[in-house]
């Protein structure tokens, strides 16, 4: 059996639609690809409200199964072509960079309104991409619990479960300069002496 996608994660999405795959997803995609270049295909599942990603091996198997089902049902050419279009014409190819970064298809992202946070959910030989805010409002019980688990764990432990594609920014130093050593408190000025020094009065 091929390596399966397992797990889930919340990932940040840039304005351009860039998303960084978590390490387990990236490694699984590379193993399943068996080539230096990793390519996935994205298909819009409008009924469910998510984006499904899969590799060429899954697409080839689905095509063979579709053809076998069409032959068993004795479908005519028009029906067979419709099934092929549903499977192949709507799939968009996505190149995965060596660091795991990919760009979501603009049309599918706009249709699903995937904004700045996405939940990745493994389903074995595929994985789904959901908009986090959509799930919080409209998600099924299992998906809502899953996204809340990630968000609550992040808030309670202070450990982020989000994968960010933003470039690193240098940290600003606080204004002022901290000097090492013990704090020094200013002394009040000493009063002037009016008595003779050493008991000798000057003439």
pLDDT means per 10 residues, the chain with 203 residues, are 92 97 96 91 93 96 96 96 94 96 95 95 97 96 96 66 48 46 54 51 46
Q: What is the pTM of this model?
A: 0.75
Which pLDDT belongs to residue 1? 60
- CA of 19: how far to CAs of 14, 29, 95, in Å? 7, 15, 12
In this prediction, residue 46 carries a pLDDT of: 87
Express each pLDDT in 65-121 by its tens digit.
999 999 999 999 999 999 999 999 999 999 999 999 999 999 999 999 999 999 999
Task: Determine the longest span between alpha carbons in the chain, in angstroms.
Answer: 134
Q: How many CB atoms lie within 10 A of CB 176?
A: 6
Structural domains in the chain, CATH included, are 8-163 (3.40.1550.20)
């Amino acid at each position: 059996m091929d390596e399966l996608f397992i797990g889930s994660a919340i990932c940040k999405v840039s304005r351009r639609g860039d998303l960084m795959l978590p390490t387990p997803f990236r490694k699984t995609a590379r193993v399943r690809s068996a080539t230096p270049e990793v390519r996935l295909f994205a298909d819009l599942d409008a009924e469910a409200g998510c984006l499904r990603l899969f590799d060429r091996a899954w697409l080839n198997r689905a095509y063979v199964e579709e053809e076998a089902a069409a032959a068993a049902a004795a479908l005519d050419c028009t029906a067979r072509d419709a099934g092929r279009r549903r499977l192949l014409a709507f799939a968009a190819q996505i190149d995965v960079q060596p660091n795991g970064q990919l760009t979501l298809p603009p049309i599918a992202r706009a249709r699903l309104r995937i904004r700045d946070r996405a939940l990745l959910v493994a389903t074995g030989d595929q994985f789904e991409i959901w908009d986090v805010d959509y799930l919080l409002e409209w998600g099924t019980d299992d998906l809502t619990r899953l996204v809340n688990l990630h968000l609550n764990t992040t808030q309670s432990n202070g450990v982020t479960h989000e994968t960010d594609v933003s470039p690193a920014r240098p940290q600003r130093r606080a204004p002022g300069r901290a000097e090492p050593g013990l704090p020094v408190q200013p002394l009040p000025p000493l009063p002037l002496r009016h008595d003779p020094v050493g008991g000798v009065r000057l003439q």
